[in-house]
Amino acid sequence: MKKIRTLIVDDEARIRRGIERLVHSCGDDWEVVATASDGKEALEYFHKEHGAIDLLITDVKMPEMDGLTLIKEAKRLYSFYPLLISGYDDYTYLQTALREGALDYLLKPVDREQFRLRMAEIRTIISNGRYESLKRGEMERESEQLKKTRQIQTLSYITSMGIDMTTLGYWVDEFPRGAYVLLSIRLDTLPVKTRSYKPSDWKAYFYVLENIMGEILNNQFKHTDRLGWSWRGGESDFWMLLFSPDPEFDWETVTHDLAVNIRSSIQTYTPFSVSIAYGDSMEDLYLLPESKRQAIALMNYRFLYGGNQVFSPRRTMTEEEGKPSNSNSMSKDLSPIIQQLKRSVEQGNSDEAAENARLFFTQLDQLDSPVHLRKAVQNAIILIHTAALESRSGFASLLSIEDELQKVERATNLQELKQFVKQLMERVIGEVLKARESSNMKPVEQAKSWINDHMEQDITIKKIADQVYLNPTYFCECFKIQTGETVLDYVTRQRIARAKELLGDPRMKLQDICVRIGYQDVKYFSRLFKQWTGQAPSKFREQFIIVGGDEPIGIE
């Protein structure tokens, strides 16, 4: 049996030595690990040993900190059994001691035989407690493992193809609240030698790949409050979901470092290489299907820039070369125009898309490098293809992104390149509008109205979906099809618009404005406002001129 670790506390050294001899006389099961002269000294020992004490034998009245206070303070952090020995036969002390969980309250001078009998009983109590604690720990670990297995099954189901969103229910209740980011990990072009692999070889390698990813994930998040789940997707792809309890956690550096580590380890320990893509972080896990589509869209860039790389919305650097990748070598003015083109396509806005395409073509005319020109057109085609993918119209599955990009490579003149972009844009807009017509618009309009009427509340996707009696995951899909933007992007856009109106009143404090639009943290709101408008709230307010005393007008 494991020895029972005992700590003895008394302000008289003679009594401490006497109790220590009594404990040793009770048999080899007992170990006196330390003695202390007061409660404060004993509490410090608790902290030093991280609470690794089974039995605390303490006097009641002592300088610095008495025995009852010691028990109360130590019990807040650690689990142990207290035994009090005192020269005071006071019923109040006895009551307090029992309330704090003391096993007994013995009076000095201690009767040796009575002490040994009581220690034998305490030994049984501690042994039984250890067994119960062990079993409870095993049950908790098993329960936690079962919970994680269920979570992975749910995540696997959601990231698979052709799922029925209406059957998912409130699945996010199984997961903690915070900030999430989803990674897509895919094998690149397989080496020639893999053609001779047998099914057993592939099974072994997939087992190795899953273990590598799981081990890296566990090591990366060890000793942190972050969590992660990893699972296998289809034939050659894997997924990973990362979590932080801090909703404002900046995932970019952590996610990139993790992705680079995974990519490097797989290349070192297996004959394969992988590409990894991840999109923006999300606070509401009902947006997981949206994050999945964003990751898949980013993964398409490996057709343009090659595999064995990490793709994300904010990073355009290749680790090997340490210089900007080809995606950043085009004119800096092209990137926002291409993004606007993609946005107008996914919203099904033909006129706006035509105008953005015209601006894009005008800038193409100014490029003097054939390489940069082709890259710019390929980038536009990938983003338009992404709009088709995110519309869930089914059109994306009919397109081969590889074929589209190869058309660009084979083009002989600029007019031909422009024609490719225009034709793809028009086809995708047609499919987006067709999907929108077949979808019920009423719940989306009802949701918008409810959002605008409850701007000051803590708005979640579940709350909105409940108002229109739809499954939250299915509701997200419907909302994106009908509006071309996610539910939370719409909520944020409406809140920013309301904030602009309120900032026109110089009498309103920034904290009051935050509360009126549903934000509690001024710093978070200010950062979000600048992200959406390009300027801080205070700067935006300065651009207003007061007309007629209280009526503000904006200056463009």
Domain 442-554: state its class: mainly alpha
The domain over range 159-322 is classified in CATH as 1.10.3720.10: no
Compute the distance between CA of residue 121 and CA of residue 126 in angstroms, rounded to an integer: 9
Share of the chain above pLDDT 90, in %: 27
Residues near 50 by Cβ (< 8 Å), separated by ≥ 6? 78
**Stretch 29-44: mean pLDDT:** 92
Scanning 36-90, the segments in alpha helix (DSSP H) are 39-48, 67-75
Q: Is 0.85 surpassed by the pTM of this model?
A: no
Beta partners for residue 105, in sequence order: 84
Burial class (CB in 10 A: 0-12, 13-18, 19+), 396: buried
Tell me if 348 sits within 8 A of 392, measured CB to CB.
no
Scanning 31-107, the segments in alpha helix (DSSP H) are 39-48, 67-75, 91-99
Tell me if 11 sits within 8 A of 37, measured CB to CB.
yes
Which pLDDT tens digit goes with each residue over 373-392?
888 888 888 888 877 776 65
* pLDDT exceeds cutoff 60 at 327: no
Report DSSP state, residue 501. H
Tell me if 328 sits within 8 A of 308, measured CB to CB.
no
The region of weakest confidence among 219-228, 359-368, 422-431, 543-552 is: 543-552
The tokens 């579940």 sit on which residue?
462
* pLDDT exceeds cutoff 70 at 399: no
* pLDDT exceeds cutoff 90 at 257: yes
Nearest 5°: phi and psi at 114? Answer: -60, -40
Hey, where are the domains in the chain? 4-133, 159-322, 442-554
Helix (H) or strand (E) holding 498: helix 487-503
Q: So what's the pLDDT on residue 92?
A: 62
98: confidence class by pLDDT, cuts 50, 70, 90 = low
Q: So what's the pLDDT on residue 148?
A: 86
Q: So what's the pLDDT on residue 396?
A: 45
Report DSSP state, residue 366. T
SS3 content of the chain, % helix, strand, coil (to 5): 60, 10, 30
The region of weakest confidence among 129-138, 241-250, 415-424 is: 129-138
Report DSSP state, residue 192. G
Which pLDDT tens digit goes with each residue over 443-479?
888 999 999 999 888 899 999 998 988 888 888 888 8
User: Does 542 or 267 have the greater pLDDT score?
Assistant: 267
- CATH number for the domain running over 4-133: 3.40.50.2300
318: confidence class by pLDDT, cuts 50, 70, 90 = very low
Tell me if 346 sits within 8 A of 432, measured CB to CB.
yes
With CA atoms as reference, report the closest residue to 262 among 239, 279, 244, 245.
Answer: 239
Nearest 5°: phi and psi at 104? Answer: -165, 170
317: confidence class by pLDDT, cuts 50, 70, 90 = very low
Q: So what's the pLDDT on residue 303?
A: 76
Report DSSP state, residue 455. T
Which pLDDT tens digit goes with each residue over 209-218?
999 999 999 9
Report DSSP state, residue 389. H
Which pLDDT tens digit goes with each residue over 431-449?
878 776 766 678 888 999 9
Q: So what's the pLDDT on residue 407?
A: 80
Q: So what's the pLDDT on residue 135?
A: 65
User: Does 430 or 436 have the greater pLDDT score?
Assistant: 430
Tell me the DSSP string of 206-232. Answer: HHHHHHHHHHHHHHHHTTSS-EEEEEE
**Under the phi-then-psi rule, with left for phi > 0, alpha for psi from -120 to 50, and beta for the rest, what region is 95?**
alpha
